[in-house]
Chain A
């Protein structure tokens, strides 16, 4: 007997937590073959699994390598499910620009944030790593994004984040584009000092912050 959509979603979530990329692929195909809602499978399956993995990370059960394996599994699932989503069903998705500050090529945290946000049904525009301030702002303006998320992984690069925030002010975009920052060397005090709109301690928190900002 075929599994119900709920059963499949639960198995998808578990497979993400178990870092089983192959099983996620099989289950995602099963969702499509059964004619179940792919958007629901992302939201109630993949995203739930990633959310659980994020919780395990906060509890120090999982570490970055585990999250990378989970996010690979999520990406595999999304790649299979996404072509079957009708745009009308998806509704309007909020856009978020993510990237790593200029001079810093450590993109591991940024990539995790990207997967978490994608799984949470945000449209993520990846500006990449080593991103100059004007590229962050230009990309956000061009894409109509209301949030820019900037990562810095080194104390030697973090002090350049202020350049992007200042550029937003210079162009009169303050309030229209919000800046969320994060990364190992960043502290809430630093975020406040340079005028960032929010500090995100990890990829999980980034999703919560984005939801709050965009209502």
Chain B
């Protein structure tokens, strides 16, 4: 019996049987070829709900054939709504933060009208359009930053990391605001029709911070955020995570999205010993395989990931926009045979 992408992914997230392995892209998957194919391109699609819904929805569900579709593409929406100056990326780049909105000594706060600011309404509207058009076939996922990542986007990662040593008390208010912003945004996505939330806490990576700092400054806020969201939650963190995989599972996330730097068999075994059901999503390399490889190599990487115990196939991180469409399709094809 063939399943819809939606049924397949929901089953996979719940640890139930599926007709074939589920394939999604936990992080952004818009590519230049996808823009050409859908007629919805950057930079307009960053600021226009209809175009965002078309590029993400049509592109993800119809053209690539993913089991879930998501918006937005970049990680600057929260920072912009909190007052950051944003530089447009034009057609070929994603928007970036030109100026952080706060200094370490400021007292940050979550604006009461956060949901009406900047591109927040655009992303919310896009999700509701995607739900309307594709909600019966695929899972619709709203993307937010993690509290740790939102907090450091407010003052910049370097001052933030230094303050973790020198004046840890000063970063707490930023983490609190990061949490409040993420909760608001996540709940608004759910009200707009999102079936699931993807939290990208990319800066809480062990490429950036120690396991100890992860446990004290990232995980507790992720846990509180996840508890506040009444839908399946995927937590994506980049890089090497072996030392904190159990801590991540203990945040209560339904699934963890990881890169190939993570030892998946070891994590699966550690989860099994603890009785954790957390699904692992990943870990097809966006640079080594999807961008640089052939469709055959992509399929091999999918087979290899499944062999290592990856539960749901996805690029390990955001898809580079010049990634060949044939490779994104091969990621789905790899799960068919």
Do the beta carbons of B162 and A156 come within 8 Å of each other? no
How many B residues touch the partner, as a band?
Answer: 35 or more
Complex Cα–Cα for A69 and B74 (A): 30
Do the beta carbons of A64 and B239 come within 8 Å of each other? no
Write out the residue numbers on chain B whose beta carbons fall within 8 Å of the beta carbon of A65: 161-162, 164-165, 208-210, 213
Do the beta carbons of B291 and A159 come within 8 Å of each other? yes
Write out the residue numbers on chain B whose beta carbons fall within 8 Å of the beta carbon of A9: none
Partner-binding segment picked from B61-69, B91-99, B185-193: B91-99
B17 contacts A by Cβ under 8 Å:
no
Distance of A145 from chain B, by nearest CB (Å): 24
A158 contacts B by Cβ under 8 Å:
yes
Write out the residue numbers on chain B whose beta carbons fall within 8 Å of the beta carbon of A160: 92-93
Partner-binding segment picked from A82-90, A172-180, A187-195, A206-214: A187-195
Distance of B246 from chain A, by nearest CB (Å): 17
A30 contacts B by Cβ under 8 Å:
no
Partner-binding segment picked from B106-114, B303-311, B317-325: B317-325
Partner-binding segment picked from B125-133, B264-272, B282-290: B282-290
Complex Cα–Cα for A105 and B209 (A): 19
Do the beta carbons of B93 and A69 come within 8 Å of each other? no
Closest A residue, CB atoms, query B90: A103
Distance of A76 from chain B, by nearest CB (Å): 13
Do the beta carbons of A105 and B292 come within 8 Å of each other? no
Contacts A64-B209, A102-B93 given; does A159 touch B321 at CB 8 Å: yes
B151 contacts A by Cβ under 8 Å:
no
Complex Cα–Cα for A160 and B322 (A): 9
Contacts A19-B165, A65-B165, A193-B292 given; does A156 touch B213 at CB 8 Å: no
Write out the residue numbers on chain A whose beta carbons fall within 8 Å of the beta carbon of B74: 156
B87 contacts A by Cβ under 8 Å:
yes
A39 contacts B by Cβ under 8 Å:
no
B296 contacts A by Cβ under 8 Å:
no
Do the beta carbons of A189 and B96 come within 8 Å of each other? no
B53 contacts A by Cβ under 8 Å:
no
Q: Which residue of A72, A104, A157 has the most chain B CB atoms within 10 A of its CB atom?
A: A157
Complex Cα–Cα for A105 and B87 (A): 10
Q: Which of B69-110 contact A (CB under 8 A)?
A: 73-74, 87, 89, 92-94, 96-98
How many chain A residues have a CB neighbour from B under 8 Å? 32
Complex Cα–Cα for A104 and B291 (A): 18
Q: Which of B210-232 contact A (CB under 8 A)?
A: 210, 213
Contacts A65-B162, A69-B162 given; does A157 touch B292 at CB 8 Å: no
A185 contacts B by Cβ under 8 Å:
yes
Against B, the Cβ 8 Å flags (1 = close, 0 = not) of A122-141 are 00000000100000000000
Do the beta carbons of A111 and B319 come within 8 Å of each other? no
Complex Cα–Cα for A106 and B320 (A): 16
A68 contacts B by Cβ under 8 Å:
yes
A184 contacts B by Cβ under 8 Å:
yes
Do the beta carbons of A157 and B94 come within 8 Å of each other? yes
Do the beta carbons of A155 and B164 come within 8 Å of each other? no
Do the beta carbons of A103 and B89 come within 8 Å of each other? yes
Write out the residue numbers on chain A whose beta carbons fall within 8 Å of the beta carbon of B73: 156
Do the beta carbons of A155 and B207 come within 8 Å of each other? no
B335 contacts A by Cβ under 8 Å:
no
B2 contacts A by Cβ under 8 Å:
no
Complex Cα–Cα for A102 and B89 (A): 9
Do the beta carbons of B208 and A63 come within 8 Å of each other? yes
Q: Which of A105, A156, A184, A190 contacts B97 (CB 8 A)?
A: A105
Closest A residue, CB atoms, query B297: A189
Q: Which of B181-210 contact A (CB under 8 A)?
A: 205-210
Complex Cα–Cα for A155 and B93 (A): 11
Write out the residue numbers on chain A whose beta carbons fall within 8 Å of the beta carbon of B161: 64-65, 68, 108
Write out the residue numbers on chain B whose beta carbons fall within 8 Å of the beta carbon of A190: 287-288, 291-292
Distance of A31 from chain B, by nearest CB (Å): 25
Do the beta carbons of B162 and A159 come within 8 Å of each other? no
Contacts A186-B287, A189-B287 given; does A159 touch B320 at CB 8 Å: yes
Distance of B281 from chain A, by nearest CB (Å): 16
Do the beta carbons of B213 and A63 come within 8 Å of each other? yes
Distance of A20 from chain B, by nearest CB (Å): 12
Do the beta carbons of B288 and A189 come within 8 Å of each other? yes
Complex Cα–Cα for A102 and B93 (A): 8
Complex Cα–Cα for A106 and B94 (A): 13
Contacts A19-B165, A156-B28 given; does A130 touch B96 at CB 8 Å: yes
The chain A residues found within 8 Å of chain B, CB to CB, are 19, 60, 63-66, 68-69, 72, 102-108, 111, 130, 154-160, 184-187, 189-190, 193
In the complex, 28 of the A-B residue pairs with CB atoms within 8 angstroms, ordered by the A residue number, are: A60-B206, A65-B164, A65-B165, A65-B213, A68-B158, A68-B162, A69-B162, A103-B94, A105-B96, A105-B97, A105-B98, A107-B158, A108-B158, A108-B161, A130-B87, A156-B74, A156-B93, A156-B318, A156-B321, A157-B93, A158-B287, A159-B291, A159-B321, A160-B93, A185-B317, A185-B320, A189-B287, A193-B291
A sample of 8 more A-B contacts (CB under 8 A), given A159-B321, A189-B292, A190-B292, is A66-B210, A103-B93, A107-B158, A156-B28, A156-B73, A156-B320, A187-B285, A190-B287
